Chains A and B, each alone.
Chain A
Amino acid sequence: MSRRTAGALGAVCVAALGWLVFVGWDYYRLAGAERPTHLRHALLRSSGTVGLACGVGAAILFVSNLTYLLRKRFLFAHKLGSLRAWMSFHVLTGLSAAGLVVVHSALLVKSTLGLLAVTGLGIVIVTGVIGRYIYAHVPRTLEGRELERDELRRRLAEHRTELAQYGLDPTLLGMPAAVPEAKGLFARLWGIVVGDRALRHEYSVLRDAVRNRPELRPLAGRVLPTARRFARDSHRLARYAELRGLMGSWRFLHRWLAVAMLAIVGLHVFVAWRYGDLRWPR
C-alpha cells in the first residue's frame, strides 16, 4: 500500500466519520438522559444500527491490525508486500478503528468497562504514534527491513565517496563517532529529539559548503539530497545501538499495551454479548 493510497483511504475514513458526527451532532450533544427520546437514538446509540456497526467494524479492524505482526514474524509473508506498506496498513487500521470507536461510543462513555477500553485505546494510539516517530529514525531498506550496522556503514561510505567526487571539503565528511547510549526508555526518546536538532545543524553546514562553492551551485539539485542522506545516515550510525534498542523496547511496550487493550475490548464484547440487547438493524 503506497503512502498516497493510505493517505487517500485515511482521508476517506476521516471524512466519513466527520460526516457521521456532523449528521448526528444534534443527537451527540444531548446529555445521556435526554438521548432515548431523540429520533435517531435507535440509529446512533452504541448498540444502534450505526453504533453497533461501527463497534463491530472497529473490532474487525483491531483484528486486521494484528496481521502486521504476522507479516513481520513469518519470512514467507514477504510475498504479501513490503513491510513499509504493511506498516502503513497497520497505522491506517489502527487510526480508523479509533475513529469507529468514537462513533460507537456516541461521544459519551457511560460504563466503566467502556471507559477502560477507550482509555486503553488512547494509550495504545499515543504509543503507536510515538513508535511510528521512532520507526522513522531506524535506518531501513526501501522494503522496510532494518539495516545492520555494516550495511549502514557501507551506505554511508558510498555517500561520502559521491560527495568527495563533487569536491566537498573532506574534513566535513568524516565518519561519525558513536554517541554514548542514554539510559532508560524516555532518556533515549529525548535523545532522538536532541539528535534531530543536531542533524539539522550538520546538514546546514554541508548545505552552506555547497552553496559557497560557485561551481557546485548548478549541481545543487543532485548534491544536496546526497548531503542530506549522508548527514542522516551519519547521525543514525552514531546512535545505531541506541535507536535499535529504543525501537525494540518501545515496540515491546506498545505490543503489550495493545494486548491489554484487546483483553479489555474482549471483556467489553463479552459483557455486551451476554447482557446487552444486540439486534441489528434496529
Chain B
Amino acid sequence: MSHGIILVGTFALLLLAALVAYDDPSPGGLTTRHGGVPALAGRNGCAVCHADGGLTKGCLGCHTEIKTQLAKGNGLHGTQESTDCASCHPEHHGDTFDLLGGLAWDKESFSHDHVEFILDGAHENASCEACHGDKTFLGRSQDCLSCHEDPHQRKGYTRCVECHDQHAFAPAPLFNHDKSFPLRGAHAEADCGKCHHDRPHFEAVPGRRCTDCHESPHRTKWDQECAACHRDNDLKWNDAHETMTPAAHLATGFSLGAPHARTECKACHKPQDPYADRFRAREAKDCAGCHDNPHRVPWDQDCSACHRVGDEHWRAGRNSVTGEVHAKTGFRLDRPHRDVSCEACHRPGPDYKERFASRGADDCAACHEDVHKGQFAARHKSCLECHERHRFDPPRFGAKEHDIWLLSGAHREAACDACHKTSKKLGARRFAGTPKDCRTCHDDPHKGQFKKRSCRECHTKHRFLPSRIGLREHRTFALTGAHQAVACTACHVEKNGVRRFAKTPASCKSCHEDVHRGQFRKELRRGDCTACHNGEATTFRIRPFDHAKRTGYELAGKHATADCARCHGDGRYRDTPTDCASCHTDVHRAQFRQGKTTDCARCHESQAPDWSLKRFDHRRTRFPLDGRHKDVSCAKCHPTVAQRDGKRVVQYRPLGRDCRSCHESEKK
C-alpha cells in the first residue's frame, strides 16, 4: 500500500467524519418535547438553546412564561434559587427521557403553596390535569373564568371571589345584596324574579331610583327622591306620611326647624302659584331661593355652612360652626378632627383666606407631617390609601394589600414592625426597599450550615416547619428501609445547641450502637455494617450470609437449620469455637477424649443430618468385626453401664477383646 493511498484514505475518512459531525453535532438525542420543534432540528438548532448568553438565556428565549415567572418571583420557577435550567431539565438524553420527570419536580408531593394559589375546597381534591390539562403545568391564570364557564355571562367581570368561594358555585356565601341594593321592607319580601325577571343570570338591574322600577302615582312631576315621603322599609308605598309633617318635610331635604317651623305653609307654597311652582323643589341650602343675601361679599358656599336652619335668627349661627356645618364645607369633622380646637387647623392670623383656605378632606399632608419621610410619595397619592380617615394607627393596610411581597403563612400573622424596623438613616420606620431575604429578619437556626444556599430550597415562605425536605429530597443519603420511618432528629442531633444537618456522617456507626462490641471492627473499616446486614430492609436483617465463605465453617446438615443463637447465644460471633464439644454435650462421657479435646469427627459425620457414623470403621479398631460378629447388634457388646456419678452411658472403651468379656455370661 503506497503512502499516497494511506494519505488519501485518511483524508477521506477525516472528510467523512467532518461531514457527519457537521450534519449532526448533537451530543445525544433530544426529548420528544424538543425533538418535535422544527427550529431545534439539525445543526442550526444548537444555537437556539446554546445562545451566546448561555444555555439559560437560550431556554428563556422560547419559554417566555418562565422568564416572566423568574422576573416576578412567582410561580414554581420564581421560587427557585437556581436559574440553571439544565439542572432540573437536562437534555440530550434521548426521546425516552422525561423533561418533567423526577429530576424536575415530584408531582405527588408538590405543594401548591409555591405558586401563591392556595388550593381550597373543591380545588383541593381536583386532579392537576383538570386545571392544567396535559400541558406543562406552568402557571395558569388565576382568573376563575380561565377554567370555569361564566354562568352570569358577563364579559369582563372577573371578581368571582367577591361572591363565591372555592367550595362550590352555589350557594355563594360571600354574596351580599346590600352592596348593590339593600333589600328592606317590601323589597325583602319580593320574589327575585320580580326585579330580575328578564335577567336569568342575575345581572344588575339598571338604576337605583324608585322610578326606575315603579311608576309615580303623583299627578305632577316630583324631582325629589320618593324617599322624601316614602320610606324604603315600608311594606306599602302608601304607608308613607301622606300628611306632611315636619319630619316628612325634613325627608324632602328641607328641615322645618326654627324659624320655618313657625312659618305658615302658604308663606313658601303660595296658593296662587300653579302646582309645579307651588311645590317646586327647593333645597334647604338654597336660602337664596327665598331669602336675599345679606352678606356684603359673594360666598360660594351655601348659607348653611355657617347658619343653622333651626336658629331663630340667621345671625345666631355666626361663629358657631358645628361639625355638621363644617361638613357642608366639604370637610367632615369626624374623629379625630372633631376633638381638636379650630385654631389647630385655622391658625389665627391676619389673612382670612389663608386661615380658612379650602383644604381637601383627603389632603392630609396639608396639615400633618409625613412620618414616612416621603417613602410613599411616588407610590401612593393619598394617606387614605393605607390609613383610615379617622385614625393613623392601626392602618387599614393589611396582608391583602401587601402585594409587593405577598404575605402568606406565618408572615400573615407577624407584626409589621417585626420586618419594618426603624432606620436610623431614614429617621423613620423603613417600608419601601425592605430586603426580601429571609436572613434579614430571621435568625439562622442552622448557624451557617447552609450559608451558600437559600432558605427556600428547604423551607416554604409560609412556614418554617415542616420543611420541604422529604424522603425523595434527602439525596445526600438515600433514605431506604427502616430509615424511611425514622424521625429526622434521630440522626440529626443537637450539638452545642444547634441541630446538625450539614456533614452528618453517613456511616452506620455514627448513629447506631455497635451491638457486636467491636467484634467486626475490621469489617466495619472495610465496608460498614452493610457487609453483613441489609441496610435497605425495614428490619436490620442479615443479608444472605455465606457462612462457609465468610467464616470457613460450612453450615450443613442440622447446622443449616439451627438458630444462630444456639451457637452464638452469648452474642459472640468472632472466634466462636468450631469443635463439637463447645456446643454439644459429650454423650460418651469422655470415652474418646484425646488430651483435652474430643474429636467427634473421627467417627461422626458432623454435617450430616442424622449424625451418622459414616466415618467410623470397626475394622480400624482393635477388634475388627468378622464372622458372626458382623451381624451382632452393637448393644450386645457395648452395654449401657452406670458410672460413678450414677449417670448411665453406653460403654465403648475400655472394653475387653477376649471372648470371655462378652461370652462368659452366656456360659453361665
Contact = CB atoms under 8 A, between A and B. Distances in A.
Interface of A: 31-33, 35-37, 39, 46, 110-114, 116, 120, 184-186, 249, 252-253, 256-257, 259-260, 263-264, 267, 271-272, 274-277
Given A260-B10, A277-B55, A110 B46 contact: no
A111 B28 CA distance: 5
Contact of B97 (A32, A111, A186): A32
B13 A249 contact: no
A110 B14 CA distance: 20
Sorted from nearest, which 6 A-B pairs have the closest CB atoms?
A110-B28, A33-B97, A111-B27, A185-B1, A256-B10, A275-B50
Contact of A111 (B7, B25, B90, B478): B25
A33 B103 CA distance: 11
Contact of A253 (B6, B26, B103): B6
A257 B10 contact: yes
B103 A112 contact: no
B560 interface: no
Contacts of B102: 37
Given A39-B475, A110-B28, A272-B27, 8 more contacts: A31-B96, A37-B103, A110-B27, A111-B27, A116-B21, A259-B10, A267-B18, A275-B50
Nearest to A249: B1
A116 B97 contact: no
Interface of B: 1, 3, 6-7, 10-11, 13-14, 17-18, 20-21, 23-29, 46, 50, 55, 86, 90, 92-94, 96-98, 101-103, 475, 478
Given A112-B26, A275-B46, A277-B86, A260 B14 contact: yes
A275 B86 CA distance: 13
Contact of B6 (A35, A111, A112, A256): A256
A120 B1 contact: no
B6 A274 contact: no
Given A112-B26, A276-B27, A249 B10 contact: no
16 contacts: A32-B94, A33-B97, A36-B103, A37-B101, A110-B28, A111-B25, A112-B23, A112-B24, A113-B25, A114-B27, A184-B1, A186-B1, A253-B6, A256-B6, A260-B14, A267-B21
B103 A39 contact: no
A184 B14 CA distance: 24
Contact of B94 (A33, A113, A116): A33
Nearest to B46: A275
A277 B101 CA distance: 21
Nearest to B28: A110
A257 B24 CA distance: 22
- Main SS of chain B's interface residues? loop
B351 to A, nearest CB: 74
Nearest to A39: B475
Contact of B21 (A31, A33, A37, A264): A264
A274 B96 contact: no
Contact of B17 (A120, A185, A271): A120
A264 B17 contact: yes
Nearest to B24: A112
B101 A263 contact: no
B107 to A, nearest CB: 14
Contacts of B13: 260
B26 A111 contact: yes
A32 B28 contact: yes
Contacts of A185: 1
Nearest to A256: B10
A13 B86 CA distance: 33
Contacts of B10: 256-257, 259-260
B17 A260 contact: yes
A134 to B, nearest CB: 14
A36 B25 contact: no
Given A259-B10, A264-B21, A36 B27 contact: no
Contacts of A260: 10-11, 13-14, 17
Contacts of A35: 93
A171 B354 CA distance: 143
Contacts of A32: 28, 93-94, 97
Contacts of B101: 37
A113 B6 contact: no
B97 A36 contact: yes
A262 B157 CA distance: 68
A39 B478 contact: yes
Contacts of A249: 1, 3, 6
A273 to B, nearest CB: 11
B3 A116 contact: no
Contacts of A113: 21, 25, 27
